[in-house]
Structure formats: structure tokens, C-alpha cells
A and B are shown apart, each in its own frame.
Chain A
Amino acid sequence: MELLDNLALGLGTALQPENVLYCLLGVVLGTAVGVLPGIGPTATIAMLLPITFSLEPVAALIMLAGIYYGAQYGGSTTAILINLPGESSAAVTAIDGHEMALKGRAGPALAAAALGSFFAGTVATVVLAVAAPPLARIALRFGPAEYFSLVVLGLLASIALARGSTLKALAMIVLGILLGTVGQDIYTGTPRFVFGVRELYGGLNFVSVAVGMFGVAEILRNLEDERTRAVVVEKVKNLWPTREDLRRIVAPVLRATGLGSALGILPGGGHVLAAFASYSVEKRVSKRPQEFGHGAIEGVAGPESANNAAAQTSFIPLLTLGLPAHPVMALMIGAFIIQGITPGPDVITEQPALFWGLIASMWVGNVLLVMLNLPLIGVWVRMLTIPYHILFPAIIVFAAIGTFSLGFNPWHVYAIAFFGILGYVLIKCGCEPAPLLLGFVLGPLLEENLRRALIISRGDPTVFVTRPISATLLVVAVGAVVLAVLPAIRRRREVVFQEEL
């Protein structure tokens, strides 16, 4: 059983005391930022990336991954208790979860969310372990033409699954790719768009982009309207769900795990979509649809399981193809690169301990999260009393020091301010920042493979459609965009996102 050997190797790595410690640190931090509104996992991981520089590669990646899926847990806690989703995918949990809390059933809601998430996370970890090696083997045969098409697919599919205007998302991607061309050209060494600034020859840093667009811009949004967060939380009692509750959540959790695992692989914030999709599926198949919106436990267990499964499987394209499915994964690419590892199909064979250790750590992390979250719920909620006007200066200062410490380059710090303003204005105009960051990270890959493919084919542009894998990928990419703009599908998609909000 190769799979078992691999998982054993992974568990061996993940259970080393040091790695367990970083996993714990990651999930605690993740839960914290998931609980706190106004700071999400993307900004947090971007801020902490520089810090991971000095860690062992495995420890660094385990911690960063923990922040990501820990945030999914934390976001649901506040969604249930005070109707304040700390993370976008928890918005749907708030619908029925908070209703349950109002009826004095916060305990069972929290338990359903945690148990569902744990089950989904465990299954998704196995899915990841089973699906990754064959995919990586296919990816090893990819040439530049295939990689070009793959990146195109990744970028375009992220629009199809994102919410909002397709045109704007497309423009954000293109702008991101263009910003990614700043710096020396890889083939000729010509400095591009640097306007004589030597410090920019190495290009803009994606940490600046992420911290600016997800951290600073978000802070500015929050400062538009400074309200006090009155947090009144009653003590949670009766944590354990009744036998009837457990019976009701089994099927939704199973369905949501499948749905979430599948949607998580797709590019573009699969976990948010998974949560919404699971909610509408459960409402449709339920014998008691009238209870949805009034505290149906299925409406908590389903979406929570789905988003956790998706958070896990969204590592598949990253680990096998080197292709990030959404901004957090784009930052993980950065974490790999900081550690001197090129993410992609080679990681499995060249760094098996790291690869399987990371996967196994997600399961360890899920165990830690269940142990942390249910008993310590009061501590997390008390974190909400940290006033925002103390929190946001800390975010800015950490971002500035962290980004500077990456290369001791002041221009990376100036770039935070630039991307903060740009991100703020664009978000106000209805443009989501995620596609820009994806374009920025994938742009150099796109250009490099485009140019290399054309050199190999002696300038024949048909190479992208005559090679079968490349052609297939492009067809799927075009299909994704067509689906996104077709009115019928769009309406369906909007409904999935908008229902009951």
C-alpha cells in the first residue's frame, strides 16, 4: 500500500514535536484572524511570510497552511454567536447558525460546525493524498505550451467561479499580469517599467501587493464607518448536540464533503462557492425546507463541512501543478519560493517528507482545531473585544516591518502604500482584488512559457492548439468563460451566492 506508506511518512514528519508546535501556532493564529473581522487569512499570511524565512521549510508551510484552514473554523464561530462572519465563506453559516444561537442552541450549532468540519477535513486530506500523485505524474510531462494553457485555464476559471462582474475580473487579471512584468526581463535582462529605480530591477514583491490590497485597503474600508462593536455573548451551554441533531447532520455532512472536495480543486475561491452551493443543495433536498433560515442544523453542518473540505483540496492544484487556486494559495507559492523550493509536480518526488508531511499536518491541524475550538470558545469570543483602533495600527506596522525584512528594500514598503490606495479605489469600484493578485503571481509564468513555447515551435502559434493536452486545457478555459457570461448560468451563479443574504 503505497498510500499508507506515504501517509505514514507524512504523519512521521507532521508529528515531530517542532512541527506539531508550528501547526498549533498556525491554527491558533488562523482561528484568531478568522474570528476577528477586518483581517483575513490572506493579509495575515502575507504579513507572516517574511517571518517564516528563518524556519525549516516543512515547519513554515505547515504553519501557513494552518492559518488558512484555521481561519475557516474561526470564521464560523463568530458567524454563529454574533452573526458576524469573520471570513467570507462563513457568511452562509450565519444564516441558520445565528438563528440557532438566538434560540439558545449555540452549543449544538458550534458542535455541528466543528464535527462536520473535522469529518470533511479528514476525508479531504485522504482525497488530497490519493489524487495528488497521479496528477503530478501527468504534470511532469507538460511542456511550455501545456503550462501556458494551464495558466490561462487557471486565470480564466477563477473568473468563472468568482462573484461579480466578469469584465472587471478580467481587467483585474490583466492589470495584475502587467504589474508582474515590472523588473528585469527574464530573457534579455532589460529592465522594464522601473523608471531608473535600481531597487525595482527584481520586480515588485507579491507580499507588498497582497498586504496592500488585502490589508491596507481593507483597513481603509473599515475606517469609512467607525462603529463600536457591541459584543454581547451569552455563555454557551449544552455544547453537545442531541441524538436527533446528530441524525440530521449525517447526510448533509457527507454530501457537503463530496461537494466541497470537488469544488475546492477548481480555481477561484472554491471554499466560498462550496459553502453556498452546499446550503442551496441542503435546502433543496431537505424534507423541511421551511426550517432553513430559522435555525436548521443542516444549514450549519453542510456549508461548514463543504468549506473545510474545499480549503483542504484547494492544495491539490498547488502541490501538483504549481498553480494557485486563489490568493492564499498564491501566497503559499511565495512561501515555497522563499524556502528555495519550486512548487509543482517535482515536489512529490524530490521532497516527499515535505509533501506528505504538509498533507498529514492538515489532519493533525484538524484534530487540534476541534480540541481548541469547542472548549475554548469563550476565549475566542473575548478576542472580539479587542478594539479595532488598536488592531489596525498593529497590522500596518507588522506589514511594514515584515515586508521590509524580506529584502531590506524600502521600495517594497512604498509599494504597500501604492497597492493599498489602488486596491481601495478598485474595491470601491466593485473590482475584487483576488484576480489581480492571481494575475500578478501567474503573469511571469504565463509570459515565460508563452515565449519558450514559441521559440521551441519556431514561431508557430498553432502549437497551443495542435498539442492535445494544451488544446484541451484551452477549450476548458474558453468553456469556463462562456459559462460565466451565459445569462442563464450567471443568474444561477448569482442565486447561489445571493440566496438568503
Chain B
Amino acid sequence: MGGRPAAHHLYRCGVNRRVNGKRAVTDLLAGLIFVAFGLAFAITSLSYELGAPLRMGPGYFPLALGGILVLLGLLIMGKGFISGSGAEERLGSVPWRALFLIVLAILFFGLTVRGLGLVPATAVTALLTALASYRTSILAAVAIAAGLTALCVLIFVVALQLRLPLFGPWLPFSV
């Protein structure tokens, strides 16, 4: 991390310390996320019974915290504006292909594990995830998927006795 950071930057967060301007974007985005979540929780809370401090309803606590989160988010954004000289600085690279494939793989597993069964769901999930790396060819990914599926069946079904069908009811040959 090079030498000591300048004194006025000392209190700042580790990740962004190195690049002065980068801080602004990360603060703005972080603040925005917090404000969005705070608002979503606070607004939804209004549809639940709020109650009184004496006997709080289900909406009281999340409404209060949602408000606090919005406030914190605004403060973080504010700091981003104040210290932001290089707002054009980017967050750095995002592995879009990996992000897309891994999310897809996880969702696929959740959606199909009951219907297709453990073996097909695991195999496809492993295949999609393996392809997330640029260093893995299709052939290598198939090999990784086959190996992982066998390993998981061994660990979860044979060793741990997980009660899951290997091949599910969506398939003509469910086991």
C-alpha cells in the first residue's frame, strides 16, 4: 500500500485510500444503496401496524431503522460529494461474465433441485459456474462438473444421508 497516507485521508476507508478520486464514486454508490434499502424498508413498514412505543407493532422497529439507514446513506453520499474531485473515476473492472453465470447457476439450482433431482441440478450448476472462469474451456468445464457431481453425491447422499432424490420427478426415470 505504499507509504503512509496523507494526514487528512487517514480516517478514510482502506479500500479507497489509494486513489483520491475513486472515493467519491464508491461513496455515492454505497450511499445510494443504503438510501434505497432504507426507503424500501421504511415505506413497506408503513403498511404494517405501527403501534406505540409502549406496545410496538410489527412496523415500528423497521420503520425507525429504515429512517436511520436513509439518514446514514445521505451522510455517506454527502461525504462523497464533498471529497469528490475525480467523480469520473470508475469502480474498477467487474467480471460480468462470471457474475452472470454464477448468479444463473445458483438460481438454476434453487429452481430445479426438487424437480430434476440432485444429480442433474448439481451438474448444470457446476458446469455454469466452471465456465465463469476464462481459464476453463468447455471440455474442462464438463470434466469439472462431472467430478464435482460425483463428489457431491458421495458427500451429501452416501456419507451424510441427505434425503434428496438423485433424479427428480420431472424426469421419466426418477430415482
Closest to B157 in A: A401
* A171 B69 Cβ-Cβ under 8 A: yes
Q: Given A181-B62, A392-B133, A393-B148, A193–B72 Cβ distance below 8 Å?
A: no
Confirm or deny: B168 has a beta carbon within 8 angstroms of a beta carbon on chain A: no
**Chain B, interface size: which category?**
35 or more
For A294, what are the chain B residues with a Cβ–Cβ distance below 8 Å? none
Q: With the chains together, A454 CA to B26 CA distance in Å?
A: 39
Q: With the chains together, A408 CA to B113 CA distance in Å?
A: 9
* A51 B160 Cβ-Cβ under 8 A: yes
Report B97-118 residues with CB < 8 Å from chain A CB: 98-99, 102-103, 105-107, 109-111, 113-114, 118
B87 to chain A, nearest CB (A): 14
* B92 A420 Cβ-Cβ under 8 A: no
Confirm or deny: B173 has a beta carbon within 8 angstroms of a beta carbon on chain A: no
For A188, what are the chain B residues with a Cβ–Cβ distance below 8 Å? 49, 57-58
For B132, what are the chain A residues with a Cβ–Cβ distance below 8 Å? 223, 392-393
Q: Given A223-B98, A417-B106, A459-B52, A187–B58 Cβ distance below 8 Å?
A: yes
* A430 B133 Cβ-Cβ under 8 A: no
A-B contact count (CB 8 A): 227
Confirm or deny: B171 has a beta carbon within 8 angstroms of a beta carbon on chain A: no
Partner of A396, one of B12, B106, B160: B106
A454 to chain B, nearest CB (A): 6
* B113 A168 Cβ-Cβ under 8 A: no
Q: With the chains together, A498 CA to B6 CA distance in Å?
A: 12
Q: With the chains together, A455 CA to B11 CA distance in Å?
A: 41
* B14 A164 Cβ-Cβ under 8 A: yes
B68 to chain A, nearest CB (A): 5
Q: With the chains together, A405 CA to B12 CA distance in Å?
A: 41
* B93 A190 Cβ-Cβ under 8 A: no
Q: With the chains together, A408 CA to B27 CA distance in Å?
A: 38
* B65 A177 Cβ-Cβ under 8 A: yes
For B72, what are the chain A residues with a Cβ–Cβ distance below 8 Å? 167, 170-171, 174
Closest to B145 in A: A393
Closest to B93 in A: A224
For B10, what are the chain A residues with a Cβ–Cβ distance below 8 Å? 490-491, 494
* A389 B75 Cβ-Cβ under 8 A: no
Q: Mark B112-150, 1 if CB is under 8 A from A, else 0.
A: 011000100010011001101111100000001100100
For A431, what are the chain B residues with a Cβ–Cβ distance below 8 Å? 30
Confirm or deny: A421 has a beta carbon within 8 angstroms of a beta carbon on chain B: yes
* B99 A389 Cβ-Cβ under 8 A: no
Closest to A178 in B: B41
B126 to chain A, nearest CB (A): 5
Confirm or deny: A245 has a beta carbon within 8 angstroms of a beta carbon on chain B: no
Confirm or deny: A461 has a beta carbon within 8 angstroms of a beta carbon on chain B: yes
* A396 B105 Cβ-Cβ under 8 A: yes
* B133 A389 Cβ-Cβ under 8 A: yes
Q: Given A193-B62, A220-B95, A501-B1, A54–B102 Cβ distance below 8 Å?
A: no
A150 to chain B, nearest CB (A): 18
Q: With the chains together, A401 CA to B34 CA distance in Å?
A: 31
For A193, what are the chain B residues with a Cβ–Cβ distance below 8 Å? 41, 44, 62
For B114, what are the chain A residues with a Cβ–Cβ distance below 8 Å? 408, 410
Report A409-439 residues with CB < 8 Å from chain B CB: 410-414, 416-417, 420-422, 424-431
For B166, what are the chain A residues with a Cβ–Cβ distance below 8 Å? none
Partner of B53, one of A185, A393, A398, A461: A461
Confirm or deny: B13 has a beta carbon within 8 angstroms of a beta carbon on chain A: yes
Partner of B12, one of A165, A170, A426: A165
Closest to A219 in B: B102
Show 9 A/B contacts (Cβ-Cβ < 8 Å), sorted by A: A226-B134, A389-B136, A392-B132, A417-B102, A454-B54, A454-B55, A494-B5, A494-B10, A498-B5
Top 7 closest pairs, chain A to chain B, by CB: A459-B54, A413-B110, A429-B30, A185-B58, A389-B133, A410-B110, A171-B72
Interface residues of A (CB under 8 A from B): 51, 54, 163-165, 167-168, 170-171, 174-175, 177-178, 181, 185, 187-188, 190, 192-193, 216, 219-220, 223-226, 387-390, 392-394, 396-398, 400-401, 404-405, 408, 410-414, 416-417, 420-422, 424-431, 447, 450-451, 454-455, 458-459, 461, 487, 490-491, 494-495, 497-498, 501
